[in-house]
Amino acid sequence: MEPRRNTPQKPRASVFKKFVQVTPDPDTNLEFIDNLSDIVIEEWRLKAVKLTPERDVPIEVTIKNLTNKDINCTSQEMALRSVRDGFFQNFAGPVKKTIPAFGEVRVQILLKVNGGVNNLNELPSSKEIFLIKPHQGKMAKIASINIVIPIDPYIRHLKEDFAHEFKVLLCGLFGSGKSSFINSVATLFNEDPRFPKRKLSPAFVRPAGTSVSLDLHSYTFNNINLWDTWGWESGRPQVWSDLLFQLILGGRLPDRFKIDDASSINVLNLPEQKGGCKKFEMVLFFLPYSAADDERYITQLDKFIGEARKLDIPFLILLTQVDKVDPALKKDPYIENPSIQEIVSTVCNKVQLEESLVIPVINYTAERERNWAMDRATFVTLFSAFQRREEFNM
């Protein structure tokens, strides 16, 4: 007989136990009764090519009858069921079908998203859908499948549903993960049919401690245009003067502008204002968790934020490398973690920010292939940036 229980199924294999708060539900302690019926839920499919975080997720599951007798699901009161979590509502729907002997039926279900959900940070890494029926006065679980909602349909939404190119500046301490973030986005957006799962690295990353980016560098992935910058270092204030930062924000410095030319910029020696220079629409400030108590950097961050505010450019703070606080955060950077919470509060107090503007981030680093957790994390960051732009332009 085929395996019938809790084996993660396509479309992606990486499944993690998720620490969601499940509200008490009478059915959560369903007993799994194996010998009640020779039925398995064998496959599932997502019935949508594009999804937004708020949209209910349509699924189709295939239920197989392994016996030589027809099974009338209606008369046996069988239902498909899944239990509420931080992202999805409870689901229960009767299976109104007869499954022929050694045959199968396909059943559609709609996983409804909780009210108030507007990003994927609560999307569980896997979701159990099970088949239940009454047994000895209780409900029994007779078959089950674990599914992993793919991130790709959400990425399609990012790529297709935001009209114009989004020009984003990445800025912050050297070694804070700017180039790694670019690589994460490249990996997320990769559509090369030959290597759909490969982790891509267009931006050069070197071990922390060495400053490597020596010029402004623009990378475009579909409708997202990311500009990498040289890192901030306390020893070289002249390469991050207020004037220089204003010029960058205003789009006055071209792609490949060199750090060596940065220190010679002053009010008497401004770069020519060429036509078509476009102001940035968003700044992502990178703050590695380990720099949260670096007074000089926080003071600089405060100045940077002030400049962005003056030019009316929205920004977010990306709290990076959070997996170094707790490796579990690599799989889910949004689990509640007291150290992270403390860092966020401290930083927000110092620079007078709303906590919702600080997003914990993990990047692709040593991985060689895409994985669900990292894709979701990169999506969450990008989607937050898109949302922030929309809020700002309202």
Nearest distance, CB of residue 300 and ligand GDP, angstroms: 14
Q: Which amino acid is at 251?
A: G
Nearest one of 242, 240, 279 to 259, comparing CA atoms: 240
Q: Which does 10 bind (CB under 5 to 8 A by kind): ligand GDP, Mg ion, none?
A: none
Q: Which does 124 bind (CB under 5 to 8 A by kind): ligand GDP, Mg ion, none?
A: none
Query: In this chain, which of 3, 207, 235, 276 binds ligand GDP, going by CB under 6 A?
Result: 207
Q: Which residue stretch of 49-57, 79-87, 175-183, 347-355 sits at the interface with Mg ion (rule: CB under 5 A)?
A: 175-183
The 10 Å Cβ neighbour count of residue 280 is 21
3-state secondary structure of 278: coil
The DSSP call for residue 267 is: T
Q: Which residue stretch of 156-164, 168-176, 190-198, 383-391 sits at the interface with ligand GDP (rule: CB under 6 A)?
A: 168-176
DSSP state letters, 42-81: EEEEE--S---TTS-EEEEEEEEE-SSS-EETTTTT-EEE
CB closer to ligand GDP out of 145 and 283 = 283
Residue 9 engages Mg ion in binding (rule: CB under 5 A): no
Span 287-326, contacts to ligand GDP by CB under 6 A: 320-321, 323-324
- 178-189 and 152-160 helices, crossing angle to 10°: 100
CB closer to ligand GDP out of 207 and 235 = 207
CB closer to ligand GDP out of 174 and 383 = 174
Residue 125 engages Mg ion in binding (rule: CB under 5 A): no
Residue 365 engages ligand GDP in binding (rule: CB under 6 A): yes
Site string for ligand GDP, 219-238 (x = CB under 6 A): ------------x-------
What's the CA gap between 292 and 320, in Å, rounded? 10
The burial of 71, by beta-carbon neighbours within 10 Å (0-12 exposed, 13-18 middle, 19 or more buried), is given as buried
Residue 179 engages Mg ion in binding (rule: CB under 5 A): yes
What's the CA gap between 87 and 121, in Å, rounded? 9
Residue 175 engages ligand GDP in binding (rule: CB under 6 A): yes
What's the CA gap between 343 and 319, in Å, rounded? 9
Nearest distance, CB of residue 240 and ligand GDP, angstroms: 14
Positions in the binding site for Mg ion (CB under 5 A): 178-179, 213
